[in-house]
Structure 1
């Protein structure tokens, strides 16, 4: 991946006086799988619609494969969009839905039928070719929508919350389908999603947006382990955040005073804190552990949350800070936790990092 396929330069989109997308610049590589995340109203779907040609930037430019897209219609961009609602035609059969894009391009009937059936076979639903759309399950409809988008062999596929209407087990299966297709086709995929697990499982890079701007871009592991702002840490969840003040900077160790105690943090390369500056100290829930006594943060258990193989233990400190400690289920036997029990939460200084206070 060494060729920038989509180049978004200083793009702003306003509705009235509100900038829904605010001066965003972003390069997307050829063959990359990019996920765009953010809370509702952050501008991620508007950005996707501008790439697709369904919205026009108020300022800035978008290039696809080196060509300026300002003034180029959606149908001429070869960037099909799989909608959250799928937008299949209920008056057409499965195979006719898949054929539709080829039909609009003037492909002969026999050829478009051959290619449509080939894609239905690839999606493992060729036996449903003559069925009506309303006779299909949610997962089957999803496969039809993907086949319809890909039958024209586009260089890029856009996906807007494609799994939001599916149950958890079907979502996992469809994620596998999407991942396999992207590897096999080698084309650029851009996914808009609310789901952290979805983005981290599928994407080469993730973009996190907030109020029309990009907060952080990076590989999933990098973003998860090193959120660069309090917003990103809170958006991803399962991060413990202590607000504090830098009291000492010595060699590679920064000492931070918080309402819950004084902690050393191995200096993070992305932040160069100065003595007296306000910072947020962040520790992921899976990097914390609980003990019955010793050094650390005193806390009291207020609840448990089972999430499959792991359990999130929710705690509160005397200063009123809420903590989450994630632990494997089998490790609970040693703690035998009960609501109201008191513990000490602790972590390695190298597993904490600092961001500038908001």
Structure 2
């Protein structure tokens, strides 16, 4: 058990270390890739010109050109990534244990769905939470950092008015960044949304349909693979009950799930979106999958065949597939804007499950590794208790 826990903690630490490196790199690439010199994003996500004015119409001046460049190219990568990095460094053990807890919780979910939930949560986090949540988080964290350091080092909680001025000075740059970012929120949102959902302009699939096209196709494919692999598992279960010598080949479900998901995803990508038969192809795939999923459910129910504890239950696929198929119907009935909004909403719903699981896992991890953020409060309580004991002794 200790070795198993150690392995999980090592993997959790590795993920935490990767996040500490990748988050600052993300903001650096976001800023650098938006510069005219590189031009990775069309349109650019955020440029120094966005910080020269407080409105998209550019009628309210904000920063001179030199300072706008300093804040965008110098301060955004540092101050936007700092709250996340500090949190991950200070609570490294607890975050690592959190990922271990999540691994245990998702062990009953198929490998494909595990990958999908993780990748989907990653991209929702990168495209929406990091860019739009970080400016506010940076300001709040700056105001809370100095009081926390004082409590951490001295064990004393100073009055708020004593720490307000130093906190305000520390938060000055994050406040300017948040003002410049939020004042141009509409422009930044449109730029990120166009990259995520596509502009509808004729061109590559990424330009026309956006990144969400690939994420949706990936989720749809692993859902199909998980359900059909579950049915194959049911066949082996039935065969083993009839003939005890029949056993399920090791790893067969992973192979079946991988092959089916790969075939569906390749078909999803290669079949042209304008082909009339495309909709029919995927309606047939969806219909066949739902048929086998319902058939397995009914047979298990009436035959009273329960899953073993070692089975990977594709419940997530049973919930996810009907939702994705409904979204596909919306796609055929609505405009590209309606389609993109429906796809994003479906992906966001599956992502919420992952984030709720993360919060629960983080809460449980606190039993093993108490948060170092709250340790200063424990010091205060301990000192108060010691004071009470001294009073009683006197």
Q: Flag whether TM exceeds 0.5 (same fold).
A: no
Structure with higher strand content: 1
> Rg bigger for which structure?
2
More helix by share: 2
Q: Which has the higher contact order (CA 8 A, sep 6+)?
A: 2
